[in-house]
Structure 1
């Protein structure tokens, strides 16, 4: 196993950080790694807003569902899908701009953000930093857009806490490979694999001294309580994404 694969397969998510600041050169390297990620038609449909201000991090912590690690991390990155530059390119070339009316633009933007975010995670971890992605940035996107002064056709998709870990953490077990890797066609026989994984999940929680619960129970409860997560259905149209498939 080479060092890249060893790094990728040893990932952990950290919620507690030391007071040590993240060096500017390390942050720059992380951003450059994210920017180097592939993107649809080389459109580079991603922008990253780095938030170091304690006051602004505290505000984002509240907007993300009162996740205190957002406020405590020395750096918080907000990854946005960005079609604002595509709109400017259309203006420069005197061409119509229709992409934001196509539901595919959302898939493109979210995918590009995910790939860039993954690059940033790997880069940060390779530099000895701890991270945790924050989907809660989508809870109150209208306020995040206002706080970060995002222009039309720019939308916050995910956040990323970055800092020096305050301690070591055990690695969470993953679903068995057979559950996520399919050859030729999708294998629908998943329930048995999930039941087996539940046992492993409970054992991991017990070893950490955390309340034991099945993975399936946690996931089922989350999606039962969050049938529509956040306010994206309302704010996407305000940002110029006008596909008829979007909910009002």
Structure 2
């Protein structure tokens, strides 16, 4: 019990890795944890593509916004929402795949991937490995789809870098629990005060981490991302892969 708690609450994103390879046994255990995750209607709408080829990893690093740790680490995992298997099942049973015409399929697929991704991160940590999720997998998704030959009804949601940590990064503060856990209903009246409290913690952390060179807080960071559509090709990618938004 305590080991699981420490693993889950001690998460750190690792962006520096040693040359030590990730073994097939370790990768297999990570994928077993992914497969054991719950999914909607037991549809198992998750596919993981492992990439270890240095040339492919370098290209993925470029497509993700020049994230060097993708190329440096021994393994990159791409987590995809996958309805290709459901299409095969439909054809086997003389049925039509209709769910991909509704936004529900996107919500379900992304949810299932999120649960699976969390399982993979936890399992990797239990094996002494470091990870960092890569939302940049959606930065140039059409090129990534072509590179990894994703069929129709499959789309990338997130990547995950896996390897042996070269160093242990600092554990970042999280929002106050009251901002995340709302009892019996959503308590929006307290949110600004909680965000301000958290901003002070993050600003202090950033000053300590950068030797006083930066004091950027959480609300400033989030605002700078969400004042634009920062991955504008996602809708085009979903349409290309056969999804609609009804």
TM-score normalised per structure 1: 0.95
Number of the residue aligned with 2:222: 219
Alpha carbons 1:134, 1:160 under 8 Å: kept: yes
* Aligned-pair CA distance for 1:228: 4.7
Calculate the aligned-residue CA RMSD, in Å: 1.1
Q: How does 1:152-231 map to 2 (within 5 A)?
A: 152-188=152-188, 189-209=190-210, 211-224=214-227, 226-231=228-233
Alignment size in residue pairs: 243
SS in 2 for 1:91: helix
Number of the residue aligned with 1:146: 146
Partner Cα separation in structure 2 for residue 28 and residue 205 of structure 1: 37
* Aligned-pair CA distance for 1:230: 3.6
CA-to-partner distance for each residue in 1:13-69, whole Å, 9 max, x for gaps? 000100111011001100110111000000000000000000000000011011111
Q: How does 1:76-91 map to 2 (within 5 A)?
A: 76-91=76-91
SS in 2 for 1:77: strand
Partner Cα separation in structure 1 for residue 116 and residue 122 of structure 2: 10
Partner Cα separation in structure 2 for residue 37 and residue 162 of structure 1: 19
CA-to-partner distance for each residue in 1:146-205, whole Å, 9 max, x for gaps? 000000100000000000011122210000000010011101021111111111111212
Moved over 4 A (4+): none
Partner Cα separation in structure 1 for residue 169 and residue 87 of structure 2: 44
Alpha carbons 1:137, 1:157 under 8 Å: kept: yes
Number of the residue aligned with 2:30: 30
Partner Cα separation in structure 2 for residue 213 and residue 102 of structure 1: 39
Q: How does 1:105-116 map to 2 (within 5 A)?
A: 105-116=105-116
Number of the residue aligned with 1:14: 14
Number of the residue aligned with 1:237: 239
SS in 2 for 1:241: coil
Alpha carbons 1:141, 1:230 under 8 Å: kept: no
Partner Cα separation in structure 2 for residue 42 and residue 119 of structure 1: 16
Partner Cα separation in structure 2 for residue 153 and residue 229 of structure 1: 20
Question: Structure 1 regions of 5+ residues with no counterpart?
Answer: none
SS in 1 for 2:112: helix
